Amino acid sequence: MSRAGTKLDSKKVNSELFTLTYGALVAQLLKDYENVEDVNKQLERMGYNMGIRLIEDFLARTGSGRCYDFRDTAEKIQTGFKIFLGITPTIANWSAAGDEFSLCFEANPLTEFVELPDHCLNLKYCNILIGVLRGACEMVQMEIACWFVQDQLKNDNVNELRVKFIKRLEDAIPAGED
Amino acid sequence: MRQQVIDTKMNSHTAGEADECLFEYLHTEMVNYTLSKASNKKEKEEELSRLEWMGFSVGYRIIERLTRDCSRFKDELDMIKFICTDFWSSLYHKQIDNLRTNHHGVYMLQDNSFRLLNKVGTNCNKQYLQESPRLLAFTCGLLRGSLANLGIISTVNAEISTLPSCKFHVQVQQM
């Protein structure tokens, strides 16, 4: 009763499940909120909640310790992308002060089947990534800001994610959860 | 030693493939989000239908990708079998443990260790039994959506008696 030739690659399917689920979520949010800005905000908040949990996975799997400096952080974020999204962004465009860098990548599993319709031009489709990065870094006592400078969904050649170091968080302050 | 751990991970997926825990975290956030829109218990149950709807749209799409290279299904039971084996194992890393049917459009799919539940508790732990059904709404939709795209209109609901096992009841609407 077995079906010949239907050996499914579970890794691949699993990634598609993630992509499509994320798409369904964004669609639902667009339905729920009139304002696209609110959708962006909500996506980031969800990403933040994911990030503060994801960092534990990351630390457990890589066994990495504290970052020496922000360059080290950049490399670890790159590793994170490799582990969780299977892509290897290149680190580029360091600012002179060394507190800002860009992650450039072409393949993006989040946007695999996505095209932005005209009325959603303000939608930051991948905003969840920003939340994830922010949440994860906050758990290792680092406050960062990040944003997309280039986005393939908006007809740029690559995706460019800019990351900026804000400050070190002191030990005693509990992270604000929502 | 450390390096090895990363390396095996990297080789196994080449480009642009998301890790499995991402889906689990995203799913949790979606559940949280839908429930945060409701204030009382009754509303919460209604809100779960939105989660079910999201599952439906994902299931509807993903079955197209899964059955791309499949031969045509013989009948309804054949489709359900596909869901229990290939579909389930590619999404949840294991097959359905038990399938029952009355041969009149009612199917019961039992998973003894459902992926989204198996970190919530074991059968001697009743602490989260009440909250657990909300973790199944998305999957109910997923099942309904995939069956819908195969041409089976149905209603799907789920029941949990002991964690982490659960049963999905599929009721096919007769035309």
Q: What is the ipTM of this complex?
A: 0.86
Selection from A39-53, B38-52, B71-85, B122-136 with the highest mean pLDDT: A39-53
Cβ-Cβ contacts under 8 Å, B138 against chain A: 21
- Arithmetic mean of pLDDT, A124-130: 93
pLDDT given for residue A97 in this prediction: 92
Chains A, B: CB contacts within 8 A come to: 137
Considering only alpha carbons, which residue of chain A is nearest residue B62?
Answer: A17
Using a CB–CB cutoff of 8 Å, tell me whether A61 touches chain B: yes
- Arithmetic mean of pLDDT, B8-31: 71
- For residue B18, what are the CA distances in angstroms to A12, A19, A76? 8, 8, 17
- Nearest-5° Cα angle at B66, B63 to B68: 105
Q: What global pTM score does this model have?
A: 0.86
Maximum Cα–Cα distance for chain A, whole Å? 65
* pLDDT score of B92 more than 80: yes
What CATH code would you report for A15-168? 3.30.1380.20
* pLDDT score of A111 more than 70: yes
Test B21 with A32 for CB contact under 8 angstroms: no
- Phi, psi dihedral angles at B90 (to 5 degrees): -80, -25
Mean of per-residue pLDDT scores for chain B: 83
Residue B99, beta-bridge partner list: B109
Instruction: Tell me the three-class secondary structure of B105-159, residue by residue.
Output: CEEEEEECCCCCCCCCCCCCCCCCCCCHHHHCHHHHHHHHHHHHHCCCCEEEEEE
Residue B157, beta-bridge partner list: B169
Test B16 with A10 for CB contact under 8 angstroms: no
Using a CB–CB cutoff of 8 Å, tell me whether A150 touches chain B: no
Weakest mean pLDDT among A23-32, A91-100, B46-55: B46-55
**Residue numbers of A between 103 and 142 with CB closer than 8 Å to B:** 107-109, 112-113
Query: Which of B101, B75, B79 minimizes the C-alpha distance to B149?
Result: B79
pLDDT in tens, A130-167: 999 999 999 999 999 999 999 988 888 899 999 999 99
